[in-house]
Amino acid sequence: MPLPRALPLVSVLLALSAPASARAADAVEAWTPTQTALRANAAGIALPQTVAGLSLTKSGEASNGGKGIDNYAQYLSEDGTIQATLYVYLPSYADAALAAYMTDKAVMERFGAKTRRTSYASVAAGGHPGTAIRAVYDDAADGALATAAAFVHAGRWVVKMRVTGPAERRKDVLAGLDGMIASLAFDDPETLHAAAPAKINPCPAPDSRDARLTDAAPAGAEGSGIIAIPRDGQGSLCLRGTIETAEGRYEMLQQAGVEGGAIIVPTDDMGGLIAFDPAADGTGYRLSMHALGRTDLYGVYDRVPSTRQIAAIIDGKDPQTAQAQATTAYAANGDVTVSVVRGTPR
């Protein structure tokens, strides 16, 4: 089956300019407005309704309606020329550095070759040093726009902020983003993860032969979100190879300097990825697919699949992954539900 996939952040940002009447019923479940702030209930994260010249205009759920795992709040300047969006979402694999890395790729692709990233650094979120990644882009859309973003990992949640406006309003764009980062409030600041931009260098590896899905059961489904790779930029990753698919090009990443470790292939900027994690009994690599609020396990391969095979998995054309052997669902309230389907590897 094809990978479960969220809309890229840039696409969602543009889509949110349309009327949100269809989402109105979901807004109460996702957010609680107070007199001065807007609070994401399950995440325990709040932002003022007015911040740095930007005012809240609407809020709701960007996808997975009624679940409260993919929440957005849109802000506008008084003249409507500067648009900002706050996302609070629950990926099964939460990593602020990967979110920043994949958003960087989406921004460059969306806004064209002239776009330049002029800042990429760790900053304070809500007064807590080193807990946010801040990225600034100039000359977007052939020089017409300035855009900036920030990323935070708090508990099980990822916070993503985007502010975009005319290039001549760059100062206001940055003031808006910095005001949002500084004004974030967390019910439990202890859940904040230290975050820094991902450090990724080449480490090319020979393409392996096609792998075979073994008879090993997908043991440990309840821990399927735990992949042995440093997150949030707290360790170096390296680029093992690239995957060419019908939908685009993806990168195989692994921890630098570690042989036989986990391999991940990020597929979007909302936490979507596939992972090949060494099986606990050393029999091979178990495949998992991660998305918003969900992880699917497809069993254990006898080796890391070839790039051709991974491309087929991403495109939904690999017969061995026609059906997940186990699914773990993560709810906004913290509940975890594991469903196991007995099946025979093919």
In terms of domains, do 103 and 250 share one?
no
To which H or E segment does residue 107 belong?
helix 96-111
The verdict on 71 and 14 lying in the same domain is yes
What is the model's pLDDT at position 342? 58
Mean pLDDT of the residues in the chain: 87
pLDDT band, very low/low/confident/very high, at 176 (cuts 50, 70, 90): very high
CATH number at residue 48: 3.40.1000.10
Q: 197-253: per-residue pLDDT in tens?
A: 999 999 988 877 888 888 665 555 544 556 888 999 999 999 999 999 988 899 999
Q: Which residues pair with 91 in a beta bridge?
A: 292
- d(Cα 71, Cα 44) in Å, to the nearest integer? 13
Please tell me whether residues 209 and 128 are part of one structural domain.
Answer: no
Last residue of a domain, one of 191, 214, 233: 191
> Can you say whether the dihedral through the CA atoms of 163, 168, 170, 173 is positive or negative?
negative
Residue 3: inside a domain: no
Domain assignment present for 325 = yes
What pLDDT, on the 0 to 100 scale, is given for residue 199?
A: 93
- Asked if residue 123 and residue 25 are part of one domain, the reply reads yes
In a domain, 1, yes or no: no
Q: Count other Cβ atoms within 10 Å, centred on residue 204.
A: 11
Tell me, what's the pLDDT at 298?
Answer: 86
The overall longest dimension of the chain from CA atoms, in Å, is 61
pLDDT, residue 220, reads 54
Query: In this predicted structure, what is the pLDDT of residue 8?
Result: 41
What string of H, E and C letters represents the secondary structure of 38-84? EEECCCCEEEECEECCEEEEEEEECCCCCCCCEEEEEEEECCCCCEE
The verdict on residue 312 lying in a domain is yes
Q: Which of 11-15, 152-156, 192-196, 274-278 has the lowest mean pLDDT?
A: 11-15
101 with 219, same domain? Answer: no
How far is Cα 150 from Cα 125, in angstroms, rounded to an integer?
A: 9
Determine whether 159 is exposed, middle or buried from the number of CB atoms within 10 Å of its CB (0-12, 13-18, 19+).
buried
Q: How far apart are CA 37 and CA 75, in angstroms?
A: 12
Report which listed range, 51-65, 169-183, 308-322, is most confident: 169-183
Nearest to 180, CA basis, from 79, 34, 50: 50
| Band of residue 52 on the pLDDT scale cut at 50, 70, 90 | very high
How far apart (Å, rounded) are the C-alpha atoms in residues 25 and 29? Answer: 8
- d(Cα 102, Cα 108) in Å, to the nearest integer? 10
206 lies in the same domain as 330: yes
pLDDT for res 51: 97
Three-class SS state of 310 = helix
Q: Is residue 323 part of a domain?
A: yes
Run of H or E including 312: helix 307-315
CA 169 to chain centre: 28
Asked if 139 contacts 148 with a C-beta cutoff of 8 angstroms, the reply is no
If asked whether residues 187 and 260 sit together in one domain, one would say no
Q: Are residues 111 and 208 in the same domain?
A: no
Residues 36 and 172 in one domain: yes
Residue range(s) defining the domain that contains residue 14:
9-191
Token pair of 318, please?
């690999």
Q: What angle do CA 276, 280, 284 make, to 5 degrees?
A: 50
**Number of independent structural domains in the chain:** 2
Min mean pLDDT across 11-20, 53-62, 125-134, 260-269 is at 11-20
- Flag whether pLDDT at 13 surpasses 90: no
| DSSP structure class, residue 225 | T
Identify whether 345 is part of a domain: no
- Of 191, 215, 231, at which residue does a domain stop? 191
Which of the 8 DSSP states describes residue 90? -
Torsion of CA 247, 60, 43, 223, to 10 degrees: -30
Considering 127-136, 237-246, 261-270, the range whose residues carry the highest mean pLDDT is: 127-136
Whether 258 and 143 share a structural domain: no
Asked whether residue 39 is assigned to any structural domain, the reply reads yes
Which of 23-27, 76-80, 112-116, 130-134 has the weakest average pLDDT?
23-27
Q: In terms of domains, do 128 and 232 share one?
A: no
Domain boundary among 159, 191, 223: 191
Compute how many other C-beta atoms are within 10 angstroms of the C-beta atom of residue 261. Answer: 15
**Sheet containing 45-48: which strands, arranged edge to edge?**
31-33, 37-40, 45-48, 185-186
Q: Is residue 54 part of a domain?
A: yes
On whether both 53 and 184 belong to a single domain, the answer is yes
Q: What is the pTM of this model?
A: 0.87
Window from 13-27, 262-276, 291-305 with minimum mean pLDDT: 13-27
